[in-house]
A and B are shown apart, each in its own frame.
Chain A
Amino acid sequence: MSATVITISSGKGGVGKTTTTANLAVALALNNQKVVCIDGDIGLRNLDVVMGLENRIVYDVVDVVEGRCRLRQAMIRDKRVPDLYLIPAAQTRDKSAISPSDMVRLCDDLRAEFDWILIDCPAGIERGFRNALAPADMVIVVTNPEVSAVRDADRIIGLVDAEEKGPARLIINRLNPSMVKRGDMLTPDDVLELLAIELIGIVPEDENVIMSTNRGQPVVFDGKSRAGQAYKNIAGRLRGEKVPFMDLEEKDGFLHRISRLFKSGGD
């Protein structure tokens, strides 16, 4: 077995890197894949909270790198799925505590045992970004359909190309179909026209994501959530399956369907 290392990045903060990392990890693990996540955001760790594993942290990635513990000891197993582990970031240190070559070594040690290594990249383009990028086999750029997020994604894609890790793949997160319909939000086509890289998923805006984040229960576990389904689809695509893109049109739910009924009645 030799794992694929995926770095999930965005440039801008708050677009959903951590949520994406957690959900893709769980979605892959639900398909009996062996997955380990590494939180690259040293000093501002979050992935443990989103995955609901915060209270089980004893050692972290900096302890591993500095030799205070064995790699195994820092790996927290997520008991809800067969084979999912988290290596948390240190909260009391900063990005300079580890170097790009430390990350490469760490991932090389993990590769033999896993199918996927997902690295949650911190926002920004400094040391933390370079740490997370160094071991990557594939880079996923997460963006929102907003001009500022797309601008930063463009910068990241350029940097990924420059480091010869490209071409990156794109996830458009928090798309609101009704706003797109009204012309108040960038469409996926607008985003793709500028970024010009392969799209591997569109995740619709979904309140369940916030609720599940607060509970430490990634939204993929929620069978009814559309965002959860979108993450499952992306995980399928990563495994090489041909999964059609979701129809985002019929999202508006009950009221919308009723009003459509009325409309079709009136025609």
Chain B
Amino acid sequence: MIEEKKVNVQIKGIRDGLLINLGEGAWPELQEILLQHIQERAAFFKGARVALDVGNHILHAAELGGLRDKLSDQGVNLWAVLSNSPMTEQNAQALGLSTRIFAPKAEKPAKVAAHSPDGENALMIQKTLRSGTRIVFPGNVIVIGDVNPGAEIIAEGNIVVWGRLRGVVHAGSEGNEKAAVYALDLNPMQLRIANLIAVQPQHKGKPIPEIAQISKGQVVANHWDDKEGGK
């Protein structure tokens, strides 16, 4: 244990406070080590703003929340969690933690580019996205549930919502004009495809499944079963 302690915790000063890198290992131990590390240097950490890089660990919201509360007991303010796992990022965002700091790691954009061939990747979300949730994904995003006003999805590929879409969505966020947005009830606050922005008039009445895509330089919504729209 004592040997590990030396290896794992790396602390760097960044513009927005401290960046702590935890390295490899089992999560419960890492957390223990981190807390011990902070306790031993209580005077240094008191009042610090900390961003935590958890690498490849997949963390649940309860674990993140627990850590944040334990840190705040020590006077440390956890404001951001950096992770390579979209799952962990989502959980951190759900807790209101930031998942980007101003100086992102150089390897990250490279990694993103490597696994986004035309949106082959898809992120499947099986819950309602409530206000304040922001999903950013380098591929397709599928939501089984509603997207409430105040929620945001930014996807490099297509966006499919099996439910009511009332938040903000951006399909083809890296400029892919072929990207489309599918929803059982397409009623977004704002809809963006590639570089085009559309604001839809609120429509009432029975919802019909629709597809929004770019046609002749404009964002157009068609019935899902419409042959034209389905192309």
Contacts and interface: CB of A to CB of B under 8 A. Distances in A.
A196 B133 CA distance: 16
Contacts of B30: none
Contact of B95 (A100, A154, A163, A194): A163
A83 interface: no
Contacts of B68: 130
Contact of A100 (B61, B69, B130, B146): B69
A152 B130 CA distance: 10
Contact of B149 (A101, A125, A151): A151
Contacts of A125: 96
B73 A158 contact: no
A164 B61 contact: yes
A163 B61 contact: yes
Interface in B104-142: 127-133
B132 A155 contact: yes
A127 interface: yes
Q: Is the interface of B mostly helix, strand, loop or mixed?
A: loop
Contact of A194 (B72, B94, B132, B148): B148
Interface residues of B, number: 25
B65 interface: yes
Contacts of A164: 60-62
Interface string A123-137: 001010010001000
B91 interface: yes
Given A154-B130, A196-B146, A159 B73 contact: no
Given A125-B96, A164-B62, A155 B130 contact: yes
Contact of B148 (A134, A154, A159): A154
A194 B148 CA distance: 7
A99 B72 contact: yes
B150 interface: yes
B65 A163 contact: yes
A151 B94 CA distance: 15
A249 interface: no
Task: Pick the most buried of B65, B70, B95, B131: most chain A CB atoms within 10 A of its CB.
Answer: B131
Between B61, B130, B148, B149, the greatest number of chain A beta carbons within 10 A of the residue's beta carbon is seen for B130
Nearest to A102: B73
B69 A162 contact: no
B176 to A, nearest CB: 29
A99 B73 contact: yes
A127 B131 contact: no
Contact of A159 (B60, B72, B96): B96
A157 interface: yes
Contacts of A152: 131
B131 A99 contact: no
Given A151-B131, A196-B128, A196-B146, A162 B73 contact: no
A100 B166 CA distance: 34
Interface string B66-103: 00111011000000000000000001001110000000
17 contacts: A99-B72, A99-B73, A101-B69, A101-B70, A125-B96, A127-B72, A134-B69, A151-B149, A151-B150, A152-B131, A154-B131, A154-B149, A158-B94, A158-B132, A159-B96, A194-B146, A196-B128
Interface of B: 60-62, 65, 68-70, 72-73, 91, 94-96, 127-133, 146, 148-150, 166
Q: 10 closest pairs, A vs B, by CB? A: A158-B130, A162-B94, A154-B131, A155-B131, A155-B132, A100-B69, A162-B61, A154-B130, A164-B62, A99-B73
Interface of A: 99-101, 125, 127, 130, 134, 151-152, 154-155, 157-159, 161-164, 194, 196
